[in-house]
């Protein structure tokens, strides 16, 4: 039950993310010129990739805090919060300082239309000011999740998206702003979430023993564990972003219909991830605590239980896609040509949850143990299979692309399973060898 208690707020909070996207689209989509919607789409895509790249601030903080909880070291819990917030502030400030060239590079890579790109640039230049708040919120969410408090995730994300939606409507519908209003709404929502998150942090600190240590916050060498974990997670995320960007680019080369069909089918993968992420995040905090305690019985029981929840969820998703895939496609697009094209690739969606489930779950296990080099290695092993497979099977068109992407996912899962089996026999056990992770 502890796993479900941790998982359900994360699953529910994930559902709020596409809701915001739908409201943004609806608000800007009703403006008289389609270039505003195109501009927001380009700008939002740019920031999705940019901020996703710094998601290590959430993941790395969760694993290290969970281990500190297991060691019963409240001072470490406090100092990890301080270190993560300082790191978020420094990176966020650097992003603002380097914003102009970063935005120019991102918009050049996205290659939008002449009409939409200036609006996307305006959107991005406003949205960039939210960087310190977004990254600090990542650190706060990771800190609470490491303490097995996933309800804060739900509270903060519901607040963020609610404020964003209200301000969207006020700025665009009420005040007559355009894409710049959507960007300003996002910035104010992010800082509102930071204020609320800060209040929750102060309240939690009031119940937490220990104290902040000046040398842990100001000495660069004290950040070595956080730097090591976050650097590997950053490289891993870049590899994953490349895999997704490559998939999108190769689909685009096959025409707008294939590109649109792939976009619809990727929503199936996102739908599955909303549920599986909940169990993976539960694994992060529970496994991290057991790892910190060196309680291998609790460790194994947690992995078995989260694997059970994850597998049956993935099986339910596969069955849903097999029986109701065409109906789901119809809900996502009214274009008959796109529907027909997407339906022809539906079998890949039936297989994908049963393959991807293990990479989701084991990402959570490896974050909890901060064995992040192994996560990085699994991505690059997957790319070593993904790219040659795509090249060899280009003749199959989009089926060849989905085959390559499926094998990329399968390789990730297989590599993580191999690492897990090895470490359970050698390092994560009652008589461990010297751990390779430190």
Q: Which one, of 397, 253, 261, 265, lies nearest residue 335 by Cα?
A: 261
Q: How many helices (H) and strands (E) does the chain have?
A: 17, 0
Question: Which conformational region is residue 370 in: left (phi greater than 0), alpha (psi within -120 to 50 degrees), or beta?
Answer: left
- Cβ–Cβ < 8 Å for 64, 370: yes
DSSP label of 32: S
Question: Which conformational region is residue 289 in: left (phi greater than 0), alpha (psi within -120 to 50 degrees), or beta?
Answer: alpha
Backbone dihedral angles phi then psi of residue 301, each to the nearest 5 degrees: -65, -40
DSSP label of 395: G
| Distances, alpha carbon 367 to alpha carbons 231, 265, 273, 294, in Å | 13, 28, 17, 16
Q: Which one, of 235, 248, 236, lies nearest residue 405 by Cα?
A: 248
d(CA 114, CA 402): 32
Backbone dihedral angles phi then psi of residue 87, each to the nearest 5 degrees: -60, -40
Q: What is the pLDDT of residue 345?
A: 93
Low-confidence ranges of the chain (pLDDT < 50): 437-438
Q: Among all chains, which residue has been given the structure tokens 């389609």?
A: 34
Q: Which one, of 259, 252, 255, 257, lies nearest residue 335 by Cα?
A: 257
Q: What is the pLDDT of residue 40?
A: 72
Q: What is the pLDDT of residue 438?
A: 45
Q: What is the mean pLDDT of the chain?
A: 87
Which token pair is 302? Answer: 């947690």
Work out the angle at residue 124's Cα, subtended by the Cα atoms of residues 119 and 129, and round it to the nearest 5 degrees: 140
Question: Which conformational region is residue 433 in: left (phi greater than 0), alpha (psi within -120 to 50 degrees), or beta?
Answer: beta
Q: What is the pLDDT of residue 378?
A: 97
The stretches of 147-255 forming alpha helices (DSSP H) are 151-168, 179-205, 214-218, 224-252
User: pTM to 2 decimals?
Assistant: 0.86
DSSP label of 221: G
Burial of 368 (0-12, 13-18, 19+ CB in 10 A): buried
Q: What is the pLDDT of residue 143?
A: 94
- Cβ–Cβ < 8 Å for 107, 117: yes
Which token pair is 272? Answer: 């599955």
Question: Which conformational region is residue 148 in: left (phi greater than 0), alpha (psi within -120 to 50 degrees), or beta?
Answer: left
Which token pair is 163? Answer: 């404020």
Q: What is the pLDDT of residue 260?
A: 79
Which token pair is 393? Answer: 């099977």
| Distances, alpha carbon 169 to alpha carbons 179, 225, 313, in Å | 12, 44, 36
């Amino acid at each position: 039950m502890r796993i479900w208690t941790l998982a359900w707020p994360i699953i529910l909070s994930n559902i709020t993310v596409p809701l915001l996207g739908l409201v943004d689209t609806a608000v800007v989509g009703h403006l008289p010129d389609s270039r505003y919607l195109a501009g927001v789409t380009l700008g939002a895509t740019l920031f999705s990739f940019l901020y996703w790249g710094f998601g290590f601030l959430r993941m790395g903080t969760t694993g290290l805090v969970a281990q500190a909880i297991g060691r019963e070291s409240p001072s470490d819990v406090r100092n990890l919060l301080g270190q993560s917030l300082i790191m978020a502030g420094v990176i966020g400030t650097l992003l603002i300082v380097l914003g102009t060239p970063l935005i120019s590079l991102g918009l050049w890579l996205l290659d939008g239309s002449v009409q939409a790109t200036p609006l996307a640039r305006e959107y991005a230049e406003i949205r960039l000011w939210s960087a310190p708040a977004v990254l600090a919120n990542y650190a706060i969410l990771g800190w609470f999740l490491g303490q097995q408090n996933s309800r804060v995730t739900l509270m903060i994300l519901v607040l963020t998206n609610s404020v964003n939606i209200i301000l969207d409507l006020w700025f665009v519908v009420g005040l007559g702003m355009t894409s710049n209003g959507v960007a300003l709404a996002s910035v104010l929502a992010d800082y509102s979430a930071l204020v609320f998150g800060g209040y929750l942090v102060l309240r939690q600190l009031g119940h937490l023993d220990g104290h902040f240590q000046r040398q842990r916050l100001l000495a660069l060498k004290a950040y070595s564990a956080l730097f090591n974990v976050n650097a590997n997670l950053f490289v891993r995320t870049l590899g994953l972003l490349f895999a997704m960007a490559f998939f999108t680019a190769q689909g685009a080369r096959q025409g707008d219909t294939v590109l649109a069909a792939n976009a619809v089918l990727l929503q199936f993968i996102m739908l599955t991830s909303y549920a599986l992420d909940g169990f993976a995040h539960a694994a992060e905090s529970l496994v991290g605590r057991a790892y910190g305690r060196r309680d291998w019985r609790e460790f194994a029981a947690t992995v078995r239980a989260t694997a059970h929840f994850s597998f049956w969820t993935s099986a339910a998703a596969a069955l849903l896609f097999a029986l109701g895939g065409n109906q789901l496609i119809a809900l996502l697009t009214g274009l008959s040509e796109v529907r027909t094209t997407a339906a022809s690739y539906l079998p890949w969606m039936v297989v994908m949850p049963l393959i991807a489930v293990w990479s989701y779950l084991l990402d959570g296990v490896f974050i909890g143990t901060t064995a992040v080099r192994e996560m990085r290695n699994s991505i690059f092993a997957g790319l070593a299979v993904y790219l040659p497979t795509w090249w060899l099977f280009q003749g199959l068109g989009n089926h060849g692309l989905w085959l390559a992407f499926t094998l990329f996912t399968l390789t990730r899962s297989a590599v993580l399973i191999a690492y897990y089996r090895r470490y359970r026999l050698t390092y994560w056990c009652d008589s461990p060898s010297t751990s390779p992770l430190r």
